[in-house]
Structure 1
Amino acid sequence: MKKTLAALAVLGAFAGSAAAADVTLYGVVDYGFLYKHSESTEAKSGDTTKTDSLTLDSGVDSASRFGLKGTEDLGNGMKVGFKLENGFSADDGTLSQNGRLFGREASLSLYTDFGTFSFGRMGSLGSAAGTYDTVFLIGDAFDGGDGDVFGFATTDRYDNMVAYQSPKFAGLQVTAMYSFKEDTTKNVADGVDNTDYGAEGDFSSANRYAGLALTGEYGPAQFVAAYELLKYGYDPRSGQNHDRALEDKDGNIFYLGGNYDFGVTRVFAMGQYFDGLTSHGLVDKSPAVDSDGVKGYGLHLGTQTPISNGLLTVGAYYVDYEQDGVLANAQKEEGTYYGLAARYEYDLSKRTMLYVGAGYGQDSRDRLATDRDDEESQVTQAYVGLTHRF
């Protein structure tokens, strides 16, 4: 009897605490059948490689996840809140984000009359993920592309983040973010673990991130203007002076976009300029070669149209890019990418929906100073799936 009373007392205390803190368990489980046809032609040999696959994948429409979030009222117009979000693959049960328990987000926020201050691991302004998904939520109909159809430069989720979001004033809002060290498990962007050299906390070799965005909302119209800085760390193992940065200059990404609701459809448009990137969705580099990195621009136009009990999303992407000495053999390359995607989501209930979609993307690349300078890759995708939210 005493044990029963003690257990009831503990449960009662926990329930009271949870109610006071307003804790919520939430999540998304997404399964989809994905067909993909890929075709690429090598620049030098002219050989064409084709692959076809049909898979059951997790997160075809929305990434599978679960999380805890909550707030507590501190009085005097102040609240504190937390968000712990885990990403996982629903088809095999494994953790996403390299096995992190709360890899999607782990943040603590302070809400005041002067704005919101957040600390922890969060998605950046241009990551199309998390609490501060600012750029692509407003400017991209798909909020970060549709599977393999995208082509834009993006940033990521980062550790050691500090974020500030101002109150809205005359429809305008400012969001600023800074990461003291993008990934606490690594020292430099080439993927070398801390254990290979130096001690943990060797911030002289840390990659840093900074972002600033101005957003506006005026009736049916929204816009975003944003800038992101990628400050590359130093690799103490490279160069005779042991102080060479990963790039000759920092990475920069500029965004300008928005959307307008015409009633029958919402139209999205966005432009992007980037330079000094160590990697891009269309081309990757090795930091072993000094260069100006990858630079170029991207354009997007899309729509979201309510049809029946669902939403039809259509988007087109165009990217023009170049890089100098950032691939094998230090060859300069120039290329263009274009993609087109469509998706229809049908609500079965407030929390469950069916979806179906298809897309096509093509990357045409010129390798300069080679005998055969044309390389082309294509991808065609089609999928159908089910998403449940709780």
Structure 2
Amino acid sequence: MLKFRSVAVALFCTGLITSFGAQASQVNIYGKIDASVLTGKTRHGAATVQLKSGFTAGSRWGIKGVEDLGNGYKVGFILEQGFTIDDGAEGGSNQAFNRESSLYLDGSFGRVTFGRLGTLGFAQSTGILRGAVFGVTHGASGWASGTTSLHFSRVDNAVAYSTPSFGNVSLHAMYSNGTNTDDSENKWSKNNHYYGLGALYRSKEASGSVIFEAMDYKNETGIKHNPLYHLTIGGYWQIGQIRPMAIYQYQWGEDRYKQHTAQV
């Protein structure tokens, strides 16, 4: 752990422009390396050996910082970058922190987070997905990747809010003003937007979530095109060393097929 004694927090309001930033007094550097060796042999074919990077969760390193402001308020940040261990390549092209880049404020009101975030039905600090038997990256891009491409992972230009826990239940909301870019020269209606609402239950023995998500897609003229919707319900129950899990998702969209997906 690296500790810095100085702290600076600023909040400036001028007209409709608000600036918020922080320097943390406690900073943690963390990481995870995920690698495996895969071997294969087909009939009449040669045996193959492959070093696979990111087979289950993906290699990453990151920096977390937090500062206690007093009176129950804390401000912090998370910067996390993915990489491939076999060749050292960055996880996202031209992205210094492709997995998460966020600034948050905690208080009695809950938590507000800004930046590049994982969606409610995905992962990272803002994800509340529960019950995914194979996690969210079991050798692919999402828990349902083997059966569908309708999966929301990370979005840029996002703001998320989570309430305090009331009887082990918290409510969550997220919005992205531009899932890949927030072009100041274009109208709001020409950006791709993400919307998410969810509820999370957490106790020592069990956890479950209900999540509704939507993403609208625009063409070059800013007209809505093929919006997508997800309803995801999942959870687990801890019984000693055993954790039964189950998850269900219904996906639908304009000019797209409707699909049910489940895992137990």
From 151, 168, 177, give the equivalent of 1:154: 151
- Cα deviations by residue, 1:243-281 (Å, 9 ceiling, x for unpaired): 64322xx211001111111214110011100012xxxxx
Q: Mapping of 1:136-285 within 5 angstroms?
A: 138-144=130-136, 146-148=138-140, 150-151=146-147, 153-184=150-181, 201=186, 203-236=188-221, 244-247=223-226, 250-276=227-253
Question: d(CA) in 2 for partners of 1:272 and 1:37?
Answer: 35
Question: d(CA) in 2 for partners of 1:78 and 1:271?
Answer: 36
Contact 1:213 1:226 in 2 (8 A): yes
Match of 2:38 in 1: 34
How many residues end up aligned between the 2 structures? Answer: 240
Match of 1:11 in 2: none
Question: d(CA) in 2 for partners of 1:158 and 1:96?
Answer: 15
TM superposition shift of 1:74:
1.0
Partner SS for 2:133? coil
Question: d(CA) in 1 for partners of 2:33 and 2:185?
Answer: 36
Match of 1:22 in 2: 26
CA 1:168–1:88 in 2, change beyond 3 Å: closer, same or farther?
same
Question: d(CA) in 2 for partners of 1:295 and 1:117?
Answer: 33
Match of 2:256 in 1: 293
Unpaired stretches in structure 1, ≥5 consecutive residues: 1-13, 39-49, 188-198, 237-242, 277-290, 302-390
- Residue identity in the other structure for 1:143: G
- Cα deviations by residue, 1:300-355 (Å, 9 ceiling, x for unpaired): 01xxxxxxxxxxxxxxxxxxxxxxxxxxxxxxxxxxxxxxxxxxxxxxxxxxxxxx
- Cα deviations by residue, 1:181-222 (Å, 9 ceiling, x for unpaired): 00018x8xxxxxxxxxxx855543211001111111244122
CA 1:163–1:33 in 2, change beyond 3 Å: closer, same or farther?
same
Question: d(CA) in 2 for partners of 1:52 and 1:271?
Answer: 38
CA 1:20–1:81 in 2, change beyond 3 Å: closer, same or farther?
closer
Match of 2:14 in 1: none
TM superposition shift of 1:156:
1.4
TM superposition shift of 1:145:
5.1
- Cα deviations by residue, 1:2-42 (Å, 9 ceiling, x for unpaired): xxxxxxxxxxxx8433896111111112221124689xxxx
The higher relative CO (CA closer than 8 Å, separation ≥ 6) is in 1
CA 1:213–1:36 in 2, change beyond 3 Å: closer, same or farther?
farther
- More helix as a share of residues: 1
Q: Mapping of 1:307-318 within 5 angstroms?
A: none
Contact 1:206 1:234 in 2 (8 A): no
- Residue identity in the other structure for 1:132: T
Contact 1:223 1:257 in 2 (8 A): yes
Contact 2:4 2:25 in 1 (8 A): no
Contact 1:160 1:182 in 2 (8 A): yes
CA RMSD of aligned residues (A): 2.7
Q: Which has the larger radius of gyration?
A: 1
Partner SS for 1:119? strand
Question: d(CA) in 2 for partners of 1:182 and 1:52?
Answer: 42
From 119, 124, 138, give the equivalent of 1:130: 124
Contact 1:258 1:268 in 2 (8 A): yes
Contact 2:62 2:78 in 1 (8 A): yes
Partner SS for 1:125? coil
Contact 2:193 2:216 in 1 (8 A): yes
Match of 1:98 in 2: 93
Question: d(CA) in 2 for partners of 1:244 and 1:107?
Answer: 30
CA 1:218–1:86 in 2, change beyond 3 Å: closer, same or farther?
closer
